């Protein structure tokens, strides 16, 4: 059976692996919670964004037209009811909150670009959707599922429970939640009622006018608003780190159900990536237990090429906890080099024999196995083991043990899996693309054109060769060809 259209995803909502069927044939809508932009990314964040980059790349590879929406949380949310992360940073760095947001949004893009993470199709910001958030909150109040107190608005979980069931994603029972004695604001009706809108204190710089006075939106509402605005009331995949499952995703889901009265659970498939740990503890900025990309790629002890870091992240399944270690990186580098060398061998190898002979490596079977691994809820570690199997064979290829057709197939799929789906990059290519000056790039381009012109002449393709000569003459480069015959 052709494995390619048999993608199964582990759905956190049902706790099962399910066959992926998009709502609209050929189209996929995916929403992933983006970062709060008050700091540089740490490696843990990168793991999550790389995991969803692979999902995005693979869905496109399967031929779907994908709309990938990943938000930017640029409204500060209260950390300890006193000061939010963005305001705190603006105080420490002595810059405007919006400067903090801009600075770290640029840094976020730059860091993901270093790791070859493709940008989403839409990257909406919370501050760009204040009107829509206020609208949604108003509707929740109209439905008696939210209430206002002293300029703040809260989601009413007891009322929601009368119509729907809270906790279906995280499997938290509402009665147990209510039993927990939380240190909560006295203005809430129930301790677990979450904020939709918060009244701004006089010192809170990031605030907006609303029907309830000056304030700012709660965290969960932005994602319900932006996901449904760009993907519809129900969409295919919602993703994020597992630490967001509760309360953030549970609250997003409750808000969506409350607004759209739907039974379809907002997103059909929920995907949660597990945590990257350091010394056995979750990487996190707030605890200081983290590493940044620069610690790896600019390390004074041993700098690693960014694709090696990316390859390291792919060694564990996205639903397993992964611990960061230097030895792990060193091993990843060896593996990365092996794979890249084998691709070089493939690129330079042109078999002369095209008749059927004894293939000791069944390429079609191997391609099927690779697809099977990815289709099994993105079992990338298994895919990598198949890549190594191919690598092993590639190092032994010669004219006798592989036919022309199969070598071309192997080359094509190694390139698909390694570059298109896993998003790894060759060192030379990366250097060429990103680090060369425009002048150097231009020189390379002109050389390539001249080479192309000479090839055309050798093939007596005078139309092309003359055209290139003419185009080059427009920019002042004249070619003086020697006689060929």
Chain residues binding ligand AMP by CB under 6 A are: 33, 35-36, 44-45, 47-48, 240-241, 243-244, 273, 275-276, 282-284
| CB of 243 vs ligand AMP, minimal distance in Å | 5
| CB of 162 vs ligand AMP, minimal distance in Å | 31
Q: Which long-range contacts (CB under 8 A, 24 or more apart) does 258-262 make?
A: 258/140, 258/143, 258/145, 258/155, 258/160, 258/163, 258/164, 259/136, 259/139, 259/140, 259/143, 259/224, 259/228, 260/228, 260/233, 260/234, 262/233, 262/234
Give 300's DSSP letter.
S
Residue 223 binds which one of ligand AMP, Zn ion, none, with CB within 5 to 8 A depending on kind?
Zn ion
- Fill in the per-residue mask, 32 to 51: x = in contact with Zn ion (CB under 5 A), - = not in contact: -x------------------
Residue 11 binds which one of Zn ion, ligand AMP, none, with CB within 5 to 8 A depending on kind?
none
Of residues 195 through 254, those in contact with Zn ion by CB under 5 A are: 223
Residue 48 binds which one of Zn ion, ligand AMP, none, with CB within 5 to 8 A depending on kind?
ligand AMP
Interface size with Zn ion, residues (CB under 5 A)? 2
| CB of 73 vs Zn ion, minimal distance in Å | 7
Residue 167 binds which one of Zn ion, ligand AMP, none, with CB within 5 to 8 A depending on kind?
none
| CB of 74 vs ligand AMP, minimal distance in Å | 11
What does the block give as tokens for 11?
Answer: 């759905």
CB 239 within 8 A of CB 10: no
150 Cβ contact partners less than 8 Å away, ≥ 6 residues apart: 187, 199
| CB of 244 vs Zn ion, minimal distance in Å | 6
32 vs 363, beta carbon nearer ligand AMP = 32
Of residues 317 through 336, those in contact with Zn ion by CB under 5 A are: none
322 vs 373, beta carbon nearer ligand AMP = 322
Distance CA 278, CA 303 (A): 19
Residue 76 binds which one of Zn ion, ligand AMP, none, with CB within 5 to 8 A depending on kind?
none
Q: Which residue has the tokens 């780190």?
A: 241
| CB of 462 vs ligand AMP, minimal distance in Å | 58
Distance CA 226, CA 232 (A): 10
Helix, strand, coil percentages for the chain (3-state, nearest 5): 50, 15, 35
CB 26 within 8 A of CB 63: yes
Q: Which residue is nearest to ligand AMP (CB)?
A: 241
Residue 435 burial (C-beta neighbours within 10 Å; 0-12, 13-18, 19+) = exposed
Residues that bind Zn ion (CB under 5 A): 33, 223
């Amino acid at each position: 059976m052709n494995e390619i259209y048999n993608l199964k995803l582990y759905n956190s909502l049902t706790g099962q692996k399910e066959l992926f069927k998009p709502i609209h044939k050929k189209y996929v809508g995916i929403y992933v919670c983006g970062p709060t932009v008050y700091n540089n990314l740490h490696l843990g964040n990168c793991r999550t964004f790389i995991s969803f980059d692979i999902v995005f790349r693979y869905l496109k590879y399967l031929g779907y037209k994908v709309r990938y929406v990943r938000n930017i949380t640029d409204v500060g949310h209260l950390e300890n009811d006193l000061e939010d992360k963005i305001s705190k940073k603006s105080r420490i760095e002595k810059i405007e909150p919006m400067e903090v947001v801009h600075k770290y949004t640029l840094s976020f893009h730059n860091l993901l670009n270093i790791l070859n993470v493709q940008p989403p199709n839409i990257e909406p910001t919370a501050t760009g959707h204040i009107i829509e958030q206020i609208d949604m909150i108003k509707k929740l109040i109209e439905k008696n599922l939210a209430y206002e107190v002293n300029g703040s608005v809260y989601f009413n979980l007891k009322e929601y429970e009368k119509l729907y069931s809270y906790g279906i994603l995280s499997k938290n029972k509402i009665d147990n939640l209510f039993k927990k004695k939380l240190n909560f604001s006295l203005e809430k009706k129930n301790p677990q009622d979450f904020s939709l809108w918060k009244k701004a204190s006089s010192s809170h710089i990031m605030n907006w006018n609303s029907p309830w006075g000056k304030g700012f939106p709660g965290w969960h509402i932005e994602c319900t608003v932006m996901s449904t605005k760009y993907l519809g009331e129900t969409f295919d995949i919602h993703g994020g780190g597992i630490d967001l499952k509760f309360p953030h995703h549970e609250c997003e889901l409750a808000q969506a159900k409350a607004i759209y009265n739907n039974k379809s659970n907002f997103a059909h498939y929920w995907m949660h990536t597990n945590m990257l740990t350091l010394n056995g503890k979750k990487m996190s900025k707030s605890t200081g237990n983290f590493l940044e990309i620069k610690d790896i790629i600019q390390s004074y002890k041993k700098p690693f090429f960014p694709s090696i870091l990316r390859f390291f992240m792919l060694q564990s399944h996205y639903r397993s906890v992964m611990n960061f270690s230097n030895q792990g990186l060193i091993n990843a580098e060896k593996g990365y080099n092996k794979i890249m060398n084998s691709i070089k061998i493939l690129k330079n190898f042109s078999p002369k024999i095209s008749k059927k002979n004894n293939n000791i490596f069944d390429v079609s079977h191997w391609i099927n196995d690779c697809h099977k691994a990815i289709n099994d809820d993105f079992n990338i570690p298994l895919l990598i083991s198949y890549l190594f199997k191919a690598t092993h064979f590639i190092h032994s290829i010669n004219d006798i043990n592989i036919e022309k057709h199969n070598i071309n197939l192997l080359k094509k799929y190694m390139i698909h899996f390694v570059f298109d789906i896993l998003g790894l990059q060759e060192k030379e290519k990366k250097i060429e693309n990103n680090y060369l000056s425009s002048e150097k790039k231009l020189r390379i381009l002109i050389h390539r054109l001249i080479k192309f012109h000479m090839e055309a002449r050798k093939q007596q393709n005078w139309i092309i060769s003359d055209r290139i000569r003419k185009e080059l003459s427009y920019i002042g480069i004249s070619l003086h060809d020697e006689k060929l015959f």
